[in-house]
Amino acid sequence: MSNPIRVTIWNEFRHEKSHEEVKKIYPDGMHVVIGNALKERGFDVGTATLDEPEHGLTQAVLDATDVLVWWGHMAHREVQDEIVERVQERVLAGMGLIVLHSGHHSKIFKKLMGTSCSLRWREAGENERIWVIQPGHPIAEGLPEYIDIPQVEMYGEHFDIPTPDELVFVSWFKGGEVFRSGCCFFRGKGKIFYFRPGHETHPIYYQAEVRQVIANAARWAAPTPGAPFAYAGGRAINVKEPLEKLG
């Protein structure tokens, strides 16, 4: 508890270079803005991006990461399968994972969910209202009953994910849709949180409540110290002898 939680923010970091509109909002990249939200709240923050060697996600980086935050959109296919498998194995071994917005279609999220992770969407510039569905949940700490975001891209149901182990938020959109926008999943020893907001053409990661949610989620998703078990390399364990020795 005394050591700060180590978060690595992974960003595709392409829109910010190629789209003037995005560059204006996030001149140094979304990862820097998200990272600052976490630094201000006492986390130990690193970043990694697609165009670095191994996408910045070497085994050493992952081994020193408690919680990985993932933002990707236009270049999901460029993420190497080998790195995706490495991240998956770390999650199953206990690393937390926070997947943001368009990351719903990232290779790593689809691999961990086992479904298409598809949804309805509309570039709308409409407002979104995010309702707290589980008010006692640690990820809702310090929030009001709902969060309003003035301008967003719409995501609507049906969202093709497994039923979340915990459903923290549901969003309302002016155009007539709803969306499960804050979803917790337990996988192996790891904890995963999907959080909807964050389209690159709106300054969403500067909004205080959104920053609060990401920080709450990073605290929730941090590994349980001394968790009892993990399969090495996903292999089953052959127990040669019966365990019974009591009584």
Least Cα distance to 232 among 29, 39, 73, 92 occurs for 92
Q: How far is the CB of 89 from its own copies (least distance, A)?
A: 8
The helix/strand/coil state of 208 is helix
Q: Examine residue 187 and tell whether it contacts its own copies (CB under 8 A).
A: yes
Binding-site member from 3, 20, 145, 208 for its own copies (CB under 8 A): 145
* Window 42 to 101, contacts with its own copies (CB under 8 A): 88, 92, 94
Q: What residues between 91 and 120 interact with its own copies by CB under 8 A?
A: 92, 94, 105, 111-116, 118-120
Part of the chain binding its own copies (CB under 8 A), chosen from 7-15, 17-25, 55-63, 236-244: 236-244
Residue 85 CA: distances (Å) to CA of 62, 95, 112, 116, 183: 12, 13, 10, 18, 22
* Residues 77/226, Cβ–Cβ less than 8 Å: no
In this chain, which stretch among 12-20, 58-66, 75-83, 140-148 interacts with its own copies, using CB under 8 A? 140-148
Nearest distance, CB of residue 221 and its own copies, angstroms = 10
| Smallest gap from residue 65 Cβ to its own copies (A) | 15
From the CB of residue 73, how many other CB atoms can be counted at a distance below 10 Å? 19
Q: Do 200 and 26 meet the contact criterion of CB atoms below 8 Å apart? A: yes
* Residues within window 212-231 making contact with its own copies, judged by CB under 8 A: 223-231
How many amino acids of this chain bind its own copies (CB under 8 A)? 86
37 vs 143: CA distance, rounded Å: 16
Q: How far is CA 130 from CA 59, 87, 93, 174, 209, in A?
A: 36, 29, 31, 12, 10
Q: How far is the CB of 4 from its own copies (least distance, A)?
A: 13
